[in-house]
Structure formats: C-alpha cells, structure tokens
Structure 1
Amino acid sequence: MIPKHYVETVYAGFLGMNVGIRLGAPIEPVVWTHDRIRDVYGDIRSYVKEYKTFSADDDANGPVFFIRALYDDAVDRELTPDDVGKAWLNYAREGIGMFWWGGENVSTEHTAYLNLRRGIPAPRSGSIEVNGLELAEQIGGQIFIDSWGLLFPGQVEKAAEYAEKAASVSHDGNGLYGARFMAACIAKAFEAASIDEVIAAGLSVIPEDSTYARVVHAVMAFHKSNPSDFRACWNYLDENWGYDKYTGVCHIIPNAGVCVLALLYGAGDFARTVEYASMCGWDTDCNAGNVGTILGVMGGLAGIPEHYRKPINDFIVASSVSGYLNLVDFPTFAKELALLGYRVNGEEAPEELKRRVKPGELFFDFDLPGSTHGFRTSNSFKTPVVRHSGAVHTDDSRGSLEVVFDRLVEGDSSKLYFKPFYRREEFNDEKYKPVFAPLACAGQTVKASFYLDQWEGRPLTLTSYVRNTHTKEDVRLDTVTPASGRWTEIEFVIPDTDGAVIDEIGWILESASPLTDRAIGSLYLGCFHVSGAADYTIDFAKQYKEFGSVTPFAQHRGKWELQGGALHCVTDGDCSTYSGNYYAKKTVVEATIKPIAGDSHCMIARAQGIMRHYLAGFDGAGTVSLIRQNFGQERLASAAFDWKHGEEYRFKLTADGDMMTLMINGANVLECKDDAFAGGMFGFGCLKQGENEIRDVRVHSE
C-alpha cells in the first residue's frame, strides 16, 4: 500500500542521498584518512567545500539511470538482471561518465561493463565465478540501489529482491547482501519508528551467517556497550574489519560497518548521521549517501537542515549518454519516481500527480515543500532572499518561489533564471564528465505566473530574456510591469540564437526608482512551463569541447573534435553522438555530412540510448540504408546511391509517427515504416572504421 505523502517522502529520500554524497565527496580519496579528516575538518557540521555546481558521481548516476530498466524492458512484468544489464549498456558511454572506469580487474563496474559488451549476460557478468571474490564484493553492490528502496515503501523483501537483481550485474556474494540490506532499510524507513527497526529489516533479508551480517551485529554490539563515542567505534571497526582485512579498491564490508555506525550514533538525526558517515573516512560519499537516503525517508523533508538543503538547490547534473536526462531536477525526478512506484506496486496513481509530470517539457509548480527547481538570481545584494513560500501560491499548487528584492533603484538589476544548459566553467572539477543537451530551445513557448507584493518604490519591471552561451549576451525580450497584489501571466517564445545554445531563461528585475523612493518587496513565481515545438540550428563554430565531448552532444566511442567549423569524427569501430530532447516524438534533422574515409556515415533518430535507435545514411559503397539498432542491428530498408568520399551531402532525416524518411540533396532516397521506437534523441554515428565531417545542423522536434 502506497503511504500518504509518498511523493514528499521520495523527494526527501532522494534529497537526503544527494546531501550525503555532496558532503562526503571532497573527502573520499584514500589520502583523506579518518585521522586526517579529523585533524583538518574537526567535528564536521556543514559542507567542507562549496561547489559552483555539484557534478554527480556514480552514487547518484546509478539510482537515476539503472531504474530505467523499468521504462525500457520490464514495463509489464517482473524485473530481471538482464534488464538492468541492458540499461548499463544503453546509458553508459564507454570509458567515461556513469561510474568509475578504473580498469578491468581493478574497477568492478568497468569489469562488469566489459563483460556485458563481450556478451556475458547478467547476473554472470558480476559473478564471483567470472570476476573473483575480491572484485565481486567491492562497495558498488550497495551504492546504486537507493531508488529500489524508494519504489517499494514498506515492502522490505520486494525492495531487497529488486536491488539484488540490479546489483548482480556487477557484484556477487556480500556485494549482493549489501544491496539487499540497504534497499530493505530504505523501504522500512517509510514506516519505522526507530533506527533499530530499520537495521533489523536490513538484517532480515540477508543470511545470518554472512560476513555482512556479522559486521552489522559487531557494530551494534559495540554501540550498545559504548553508545556515545563514534570514534571509539570507528577504531574498533578499523582494527577488526578494516581495509587491510578486506582488500581491493573499496570493499563493501568495512563501509557497511561505517553505515551502521552512522545510523546508530546518529540516533535518527539526519545531519549527525551523514556527518558521522563522512568523518569516518573510507568511502565517504557512498556511505553518507546511503544513510542520507534512509534518514531522508525516515525524517522527511523537515529533518534535513536548511544549510544542507539550500546549496543543493533541487538540482544535480548526471553523466549518462543523454544530455537531456542528465539535468536532474529533484522535484520532477521525485514525481516521476513516485509514478513509477505506483505502477510497480500495481496501484493507480492520483490524477493530481499524473498531471504534474510532463515528460519532454519543463514544468515547475513549486508544489513540493521547500522546492526551488534550481532557480537562481544573479545579484545576491539586490535579491538577497530566494526561497520557497507556502504563503502565496496558485490554485494548482501549494507553494511558489519567493524572491525578495531590496532597494532597487534605476540602474540596478538582478536576474531570476533557470539554466537549461551548463558549461564547464560552471563547475569546480572534471568529476564524471557530465554532458548536456539543452532543455529549452528556440521556438518553444515559455509561460510563467508571477505575484507581486511591492512594499514601496516605483513599479518593478520584468524583462523576459535568454542568454546566448557563446557570446554571453542576454537577449532581452518584452518588458512587463506587474500589478502589485495580483497574479500576472507572462508568455514569450524563445528566440533563435543563430546556432548557439541558450544557457539561461528568465527575467531581469528592474525599477526606475530614485534613491529617495527605492523599490522593495517580494516577487513570487508560481509556475514555470516550457513547451511546444523546437526549431533551432547548431553551428559548430559556436560550440566547445568540454568534459570530453563536443557541445551540445554526448559522445560514445570514437574521436570527436571541432575542426574548421565542423564536427570531425575519426573512429576505428562503431561510434555515435547524441543530443536533443529524449522524449521528442516527431523530429526532422538536417545536416551536411562529408564522408572522408570508411563506408558507414549515418544520422541517428529516435535514440533511446546507445543500443536503441535508428540509423540512416551511407552503408557501404553505393548504398544507403535505414537500420534499427536494438541490441543488434537490422537493416529495414536499403537503396542504391552513388556517394563518394570527399564530397558534401545534405541529409534530411524525418521521423514522424511510424514513418522514417531520408532525403539526400533534396531527393527522397529511403522510406520505411517501423514502430519499435516512438521517440528519442537525434545524433550521428558510424558502424565501422571511418572519418567524416558534420556541419550546419538544423533541428525541428516536438
């Protein structure tokens, strides 16, 4: 039975996980020992580093993307390990992003991925028999599983079952017990009255004689005899269950002990629990992330302190092959996950929840308590307060985003904006190489509802704008003067930026107030919605090579570079690159392609990942083909076409309904009907060794 306030609790769990990950990430490297963390940071009570924008690592990538097996394969049946193995291959770019690519027989996940690529299916891909005991029992078994616990509230065994299936892609033995234990703890946290109940639920789903169970009981026993000194408990763990006894890069057993330590000594307090997990050392972000999910669920949103929640700002970036899905807005993700929870539990989701989830569109209603949806302001002095408000809201929501503007005078301004695209300069590090496809593009319509409560000064004005990420210029649009004391609706169409990407959408707050009558008050954003067909171009002279990929694409295999205003590709085997709205149904993509070497040069349509899409283009000497890639290639249609190396060809690929049409230089060369994929990203790809150039891309998607 799905509990009351399910969406809010899922939101709290996911938020708690990400707080823990962000807190522990800076002190994860092995050089940050328990003693060094203590000596440098002392009693941790807040984030030890501030990030411009936090880039998610494997601890968040796994929970976000491995559940996509329930969208792609296990739609109307039980999940299998093979379903999750397919999600690995479909969403992870080889050698970059998603998880740690530390080398075969060093990184468990890297090894499992290569096994899957070689045709070794899950669960054998993660088995002790194939990979050995040490590799199979590293920590990854429990760090990717948080979403499975969130999907099955109160259903301890079911959460453990699905977590084990997912973990078996890469792990075995105690690696699977860790997955079962953590998922069960999260599921139990929805209804538990104490931490003891949570831990008991975790123990109930793993063998009593397992090493994992033994370390849990050992920590419980130590805590019982010494309930106030977590460092004494850590010393006990280090002496009896430390990394010297459980080898490999990051074994699950010592870290399991830290998680239980943090749960017990944290005593139900969210902050202390994630802080203890971080101060212990070892795999700090993994451990703090797992216990953060448990305490987030158990204590709810009210249990997460503002100083941990505010810097998160409802947003992380992930690092899958879909730049569109990589921009993760917490309230939206929580609603999507809750909808999935209703489905897998065989219950009908509330209509109110259904209408708040709009795949392929930006729809922010600020309904969830404390939600901000990643909105920012540019001038913290003139707009010193940006927060969720429950006091002012539309009829369709329980909240809004409040922006307090303070003493604006003529010449002052502050922007209120959302970022639909990110650049390398907005990050502190290269962690896990995220890639992005814009969430909003030219041609789409932006709608917003504002309520103004102005206390003094001349009228506030709101000028709609977008920012060109290439020139860094704000493209100013219409100006509106909202009336104080009532709602004002604002609507505009995103303008064309001549091949550059838009990386801000919002409003510029200004006032013509003199110094003697400065503008002060609160502005409330009640709803923000971006929808409609997109029509835009991609000029590679205005793109960049960042995080290992050329914007705004995500590259999988091959060498992709910017060269002479074109996207240049050289590959010794199959490779591909992707962009666009993951949920687009109708797409028309044009591009000029010059084959330089090799005989495979294609456009990609309706990509739902690396292993699920259509390719259309040159397919051998004198041939064009339309190919379906669905964990194996099938040529759906072919035709003769006398193409030559060194010449440029204008491709136009249309995917509309079940019909695919390829035009080259204005001539219709291929048509084919197929309904395997109803929508997805666009891109370019080669099926074998080759070299080409791509330029002047034009996209229509809806």
Structure 2
Amino acid sequence: MIPKQYVETVYAGFIGMNIGIRLGAPIEPVAWTYERIRDVYGDIRDYVKPYKTFAADDDANGPVFFIRALYDDATDRELEPEDVGKAWLNYAREGIGMFWWGGEDISTEHRAYVNLRKGISAPRSGSIEVNGTEMAEQIGGQIFIDSWGLLFPGRAEKAADYAEKAASVSHDGNGLYGARFMAACIAKAFDASSMDEIIAEGLRMIPDDSTYARVVHAVMDFHREHPSDFRACRQYLEDHWGYDKYTGVCHIIPNAGVCVLALLYGEGDFARTVEIASMCGWDTDCNAGNVGSILGVYGGLAGIPDHYRKPINDFIVASSVSGYLNLVDFPTFAKELALLGYRLNGEKAPQELVQRVKQGEVYFDFDLPGSTHGFRTSNPFKTPVVRHSNQRGCDGRGSLEVVFDRLVEGDSSKIYYKPFYRRAEFNDEKYKPTFAPLAYSGQTVSARIYVDQWEGAPVTLTPYVRNTYTQEDQILQAVTPVGGEWNDIQFVIPDTEGAMIDEIGWILKSPSPLLNRAIGSLFIGQFRVTGSAEYKIDFAKQAKEFASITPFSHHRGKWELRDGALHCIAEGDTSSYSGNYYAGDTVVEATIKPISGTSHCLITRAQGVMRHYLAGFDGPNSVSFIKQDFGTKRLITARYDWELGEEYRLKLVSEKDRFILYINGDNVLECKETAYAHGMFGFGCLEDGENEIKDVHVRTSGQKSV
C-alpha cells in the first residue's frame, strides 16, 4: 500500500541520491585514490567543490531516463528488459552524454549500446555470454536503479525484479545482483526501522552463494567486531575484496562493500553515510548516490542537512537527446515518479496530485517541504534570504519566501528562474548536457505573490526576461503588488528576435528614502509558464557548446555554425532536436539548402531518436512523409523536382492527426497519422549527405495532455 507521505519521501530519496553524486563526483578515481582523499580532505563534512551548476552525471541520467520505458512501451503491462533497451536507444545520443562512452571493449554501457544498435536486444545485450564476465559485472548494474526502488515503496521484491530487468540491458551476474540488492534496500527504506533490516531485505533478493552476498556478509561481520572504525573496514575491503582481485573498469564487488560499509558505519545518519561512502574512494559518486537514495528515503527530508540540500536548489541537468527533459526540477520529477508509482502498484493516485502534474508546462506550487524549484536572486546583500516557507501558504500550500533588506531608491535584486542554460554556468564539460528552453516568446508567465512589508515605500516588481545572446534584460511594465494579500501577476514573454531566454522573473525595487528603507518578505505561492509559443532561431545568435549547437541536441553527424547557418554533415541516420518534448500542434519552418545526398528533412512530434516523423526531400525528385519507430516506414511519397545547391523554404504543419508539408509555399504532400501526438521538432537525414539550415520559425499551440 502506498504510504501517506509517498511524494515527499520520493522527493527526499531523489534529493539524497543527487547530494551523494555531487559530493562524490569531484573525488572519483583514477586521479583520486583513497589515500589522496584522506590526506587532502581528511574527515569530509561538506561538499569538497563549490560547483556553479553541477553538470550532468551518468548516475543521475539513468534513474531519470530509463524509467521512460514506463511511458513509452510498458504502459499497461509488466516491464520487460527490451522496453528499457528501447529507452537506451531512444534517449541516448550516440557517442555522447547519458553514460560513459569509454570504448566498447572498456565500458559496459558503451558495449551494450553498440549491441542494441546491432540488433542484439536486451537481456542478451548485457549478458556474460556476449560481453564476458569482467564487463558484465561492472558497477553500472546498481548505479542506474534508484528510481525502481522509489516506485515500489515497501515492495522490495517487485523493486528488485524491475531493477534486474533494467540492469540486464547492460549487465549480468553480480551486476544484476547489485541492481536487485540496491533497489530492494531503497524500497525497504520506506518502512524499515534500522539499517540492519534494510540490508537484510537486500540480501533476501539475491542468491546466498553469490559473490555479492559474500562481500555484504563480510562487511557486516567486520562491523560487528569493529563497530566504530570505518577506515579499518575500508582497509579490510582493500586487502580482501579490492580492485586488484576484481579487475576491469570499476567492478561492482569492491563498491558493493563500500556501500554496505557506509550504511553500517553511518548508523542511519544521512550526512555521515554519504560522507563515509565518499571518503572510502573507488567509485565515489556512484556509491554515495546509492546510499544517499536509501538514507533519503529512510530519514526523509528532515534527515537531510541544509548545507547539503541548499546548493542543490531543487535542480540538476541531465544529458539525453531531449534538451527540454534535461532540465530536471526535483519536485516536478518526484510528483511524476509518484504518479508512476501509484499506477504500478495498482492504486488510484490522489486527484490533488494528478492536478499538480502538468507535463509540458512550467508549474511550481512550492507545496513540498523545503522546495525552491531552482529560484534564485541576483543580489544576496539586498535579498539575503531565499527559502521555502509555510508562513504564507498559497491555497493551503507552501511558498517561496524572499526577504528584502532595507532597499532604497537605486537598489534592486532580480528574483528569477532559469529556463535555459549556457556553458558559462558550468565548471566542466562532464557528460555534455544540452538544453532546449522551457519558456519561449509568446507564452504567459503567471504567479501568485504576497508582500509582507514591514517598513518603507511599497516595493515594485518589474517583469523581465534575459536575452542570452546579448545578455541584456528586456524590461516590461512594472507593477506594485498590494501588500497583505495574494496578487495574481502575469506577463507575456516578448520576442527575442532569434535568441533564447535564460532568465525569467521580476526586478524587485523600492523608491524608499534612506530614512525609511524598505524591508520585509515577498512570497511566491505559484509560478507558471503556459500557452502557445512563437519564436525564431537565428543561428547567428547561437553558439557551439557542449559539442552541440544551441538550442539543439545532435545525434550523430557533424554539426557546425557557418555564416549564420547550421551546417550538417550527415553520417547515416543523423538528426537534431529542440523544443518542448510535450508540444502538440506545431508549425516548423526552415530554409534548407541540400548540398549533397538525397535525404534532407524536417522532424516533428519527436519523442526521441527512434520515435518521430520526418518530412522533406527523400530521394531524387521526390518528397516523403516518414515514420521512425525503431525503423523507418514511408507513409506517403510524392514527386517534387529539387536540386542540390538550391535553397528551399520547408514548412511542416502538425495539427492533431493531420500533417502538411509545404515547400516554397506549395502544398506538396499531406498525411494522416496518429502514433505520436506530441514531441520535439528538428532536422534529420536518413543517409550520408550535407546541408545548411537557417531562418527557423516555430509556432506551437500548447501541449498535448499525456
């Protein structure tokens, strides 16, 4: 039975996982050994690096995207390994992002992906028979499974079964036992009263005679004899279960030992558990992430210290083919995951939860304890406190409180959300994330705002968006919220003339004099970005960042900016994606100049690399409307005389189940098709070739309800 605080506990587990990943990531091997971590950082009690924005990590990508098999294939039946294998192919860009592309003879994930592309489906794609024991038993079997544990609260066996199916895409043997063990521990943490109980449930899901079970028992036995010295236990692991005995790249067995060590010596304390997991070395982010999930669920939000939670700010970036889905808001993800949990456990989700999940739009209600939804301020001196509050709940829920301190005329601070990210926001290039904005010109930004002002002249709020190309603010009409009551405030996002928007919010000011400075609190009770969008993409205002051209995610091929155009050299099936993943009716226009090859298409309703429609030039003197569904099918083909080296204006209209392709204003083909009701737009080629794309214009009329 789904527990009462299910959404909140899922939220805590997801936060816990990401804290562990962020804590352990800077001290991964091979550069950082156990001894170096000990000698440089000593007794870790906080993050060891102050990231601007923490870049994508494979440990988070897997839990976010592999569960999409439940949206795409296993919608009304049991999950199968092949479903998760399809998610791999559909959401990963070949050779970049998602997981470690360390070489197909080195990295298990790389090998599994290549197997899948060759037609070796799961679970054979990850089997010992195909890949050998050394590769099949790398750590990935247990690091991508956190969401499966969160989906089955108190149902360890079911969590273990689903985790095994998912892990079998890339792993086998002890790799599968690790998946079962960790998922079971997370599921059991929902109702467990001790770490011993959690570990015992994990053990119950794997064979007693497995190497995985033996290392767990060995750590438990050592802890029983030496309950206060985790470093002695770490040395024991090094001596008896170390990397020298379990070869390959990052074997699961030594790291399983570290996870159990951290769970036992952490004694149920969230912070100490993730700290110990990090201090023990080996695969630090993976191990700290796994135990962070378990302890997040076990201790709940109350058990997570603020100094670990605050820098996370409810947000991570991921690294899939969908730049839209790569912007992960924790409360939103937790609610979406909880809805899946209700479905999988055969229970009806509360209507209140159903109504608070609005896929395809930005919808923040600050109802989860401590939630901030990634909001920021620009002037910490004048807005020194930004925190979740229950003091002024909106519609019976929480709010975001921003304390403003002694504003006078000339002072200001932005209160804003970032719907798009640039390379400058990050410290490194890890896993090459890409982004498609969550907000576009023409959409409406609305919020419920309450001002509790203690002194000074009334504050004003000036809506603005920031143009990421010019890095200048586009200012709209200021408003003065009425103090002491909830104000409904809204504005329409202005045209940014082909550039993207990377901040939306308000500039807080007050005309107060020095003798009566403005001080008080502003509360945001709800924040939304909704409605139809209309925008252009001017490639003269874009940049190549994270190996992609903003705001696109590229799959295969070579993509460059050249003379204000997007230049593509296709290598077989090559594609590029942007826009709202949940966009319904869409019109996309672009000027395309085919340079070589006979395949040059627009893409619409894209739900991934392997699920979308293409329309455009398809062979000499012909155009086609094509369905990609793990294989291409031409739905309609018509004659159209086109030539290499010429520019053509292509316009693809997607309206409900009707699709029309226009070229230079002429209707050249129409098709009716119902498979994909929503998705991204983009560009694609089905064979080798070269083209240039410019003057992109996109119109959407809202999101498809999914």
TM-score of the superposition, structure 1-length normalised?
1.00
Matched, 1:45 2:42: no
Secondary structure at 1:380's aligned position in 2? coil
Q: Which residue of 1 aligns with 2:232?
A: 232
Q: Which residue of 1 aligns with 2:602?
A: 603
Distance 2:563 2:208 in 1: 64
Q: Which residue of 2 aligns with 1:101?
A: 101
Measure how far apart 1:487 and its partner are.
Answer: 1.1
Q: Which residue of 2 aligns with 1:341?
A: 341
Q: Which moved more, 1:480-489 or 1:162-171?
A: 480-489
- Structure-to-structure mapping, 1:49-448, within 5 angstroms: 49-395=49-395, 397-448=396-447
Per-residue displacement from partner, 1:7-27 (whole Å, max 9, x unpaired)? Answer: 000000000000000000000
Secondary structure at 1:79's aligned position in 2? coil
Distance 2:50 2:98 in 1: 23
Distance 2:44 2:34 in 1: 12
Q: Which residue of 2 aligns with 1:666?
A: 665
Distance 1:413 1:51 in 2: 26
Distance 1:72 1:162 in 2: 16
Distance 2:462 2:532 in 1: 23
Distance 1:449 1:51 in 2: 31
| Residue type of the alignment partner of 2:222 | F
Secondary structure at 1:480's aligned position in 2? coil
- Structure-to-structure mapping, 1:570-649, within 5 angstroms: 570-649=569-648
Measure how far apart 1:29 and its partner are.
Answer: 2.5
Distance 1:183 1:105 in 2: 28
Per-residue displacement from partner, 1:426-456 (whole Å, max 9, x unpaired)? Answer: 0000010000000000010111011001111
Q: Which residue of 1 aligns with 2:461?
A: 462
Secondary structure at 1:311's aligned position in 2? coil
Measure how far apart 1:398 and its partner are.
Answer: 2.0
Matched, 1:504 2:509: no
Distance 1:498 1:31 in 2: 46
| Residue type of the alignment partner of 2:291 | V
Measure how far apart 1:394 and its partner are.
Answer: 1.1
Per-residue displacement from partner, 1:268-288 (whole Å, max 9, x unpaired)? Answer: 000000000000000000000
Distance 1:114 1:35 in 2: 36
Q: Which residue of 2 aligns with 1:654?
A: 653
| Residue type of the alignment partner of 1:48 | V
| Residue type of the alignment partner of 2:466 | R
- Structure-to-structure mapping, 1:674-685, within 5 angstroms: 674-685=673-684
Secondary structure at 1:69's aligned position in 2? helix
| Residue type of the alignment partner of 2:139 | I
| Residue type of the alignment partner of 2:548 | S
Distance 2:33 2:632 in 1: 49
Distance 2:332 2:522 in 1: 23
| Residue type of the alignment partner of 1:521 | G
Distance 2:394 2:604 in 1: 39
Distance 1:272 1:640 in 2: 68
Distance 1:656 1:630 in 2: 20
State percent identity of aligned pairs. Answer: 78
Measure how far apart 1:55 and its partner are.
Answer: 1.2
Distance 1:408 1:56 in 2: 37
Contact kept in structure 1, 2:556 and 2:571, CA below 8 Å: no
Matched, 1:566 2:565: yes
Distance 2:298 2:207 in 1: 25
Per-residue displacement from partner, 1:496-542 (whole Å, max 9, x unpaired)? Answer: 00000000000000111121111111000110011000110000000
Per-residue displacement from partner, 1:364-414 (whole Å, max 9, x unpaired)? Answer: 00000000000000011110000000111111x421000001111111110
Per-residue displacement from partner, 1:103-124 (whole Å, max 9, x unpaired)? Answer: 0110000000000000000000
Measure how far apart 1:246 and its partner are.
Answer: 0.3
Distance 2:456 2:623 in 1: 67
Distance 1:633 1:487 in 2: 53
| Residue type of the alignment partner of 1:510 | K
Distance 2:496 2:481 in 1: 27
Q: Which moved more, 1:513-522 or 1:362-371?
A: 513-522
Per-residue displacement from partner, 1:175-197 (whole Å, max 9, x unpaired)? Answer: 00000000000000000000000
Structure 2 regions of 5+ residues with no counterpart? none
| Residue type of the alignment partner of 1:190 | F
Distance 1:30 1:21 in 2: 17
Distance 1:326 1:72 in 2: 17
Distance 2:439 2:225 in 1: 57
Distance 1:147 1:32 in 2: 28
Measure how far apart 1:572 and its partner are.
Answer: 2.7
Q: Which residue of 1 aligns with 2:693?
A: 694
Distance 2:609 2:348 in 1: 32
Contact kept in structure 1, 2:56 and 2:432, CA below 8 Å: no
TM-score of the superposition, structure 2-length normalised?
0.99
Distance 2:571 2:154 in 1: 50
Show structure 1 runs of 4+ deviating over 6 A.
Answer: none
Distance 1:587 1:29 in 2: 46
Measure how far apart 1:356 and its partner are.
Answer: 0.3
Secondary structure at 1:13's aligned position in 2? helix
Q: Which residue of 1 aligns with 2:14?
A: 14
Secondary structure at 1:530's aligned position in 2? strand
Distance 1:382 1:428 in 2: 27
Per-residue displacement from partner, 1:186-236 (whole Å, max 9, x unpaired)? Answer: 000000000000000000000000000000000000000000000000000
Distance 1:438 1:56 in 2: 17
Q: Which residue of 2 aligns with 1:536?
A: 535
Per-residue displacement from partner, 1:548-568 (whole Å, max 9, x unpaired)? Answer: 000000000000000000000
Distance 1:448 1:277 in 2: 41
| Residue type of the alignment partner of 2:679 | G
CA-atom RMSD in angstroms: 0.5
| Residue type of the alignment partner of 1:667 | D
Measure how far apart 1:458 and its partner are.
Answer: 1.1
| Residue type of the alignment partner of 2:447 | A
| Residue type of the alignment partner of 1:593 | I
Measure how far apart 1:174 and its partner are.
Answer: 0.1
Measure how far apart 1:56 and its partner are.
Answer: 2.4
Distance 1:600 1:391 in 2: 59
Distance 2:592 2:170 in 1: 39
Measure how far apart 1:486 and its partner are.
Answer: 1.1
Distance 2:162 2:88 in 1: 16
Per-residue displacement from partner, 1:31-63 (whole Å, max 9, x unpaired)? Answer: 211111011001000000011001121100000
Distance 1:168 1:394 in 2: 45
Distance 1:25 1:458 in 2: 47
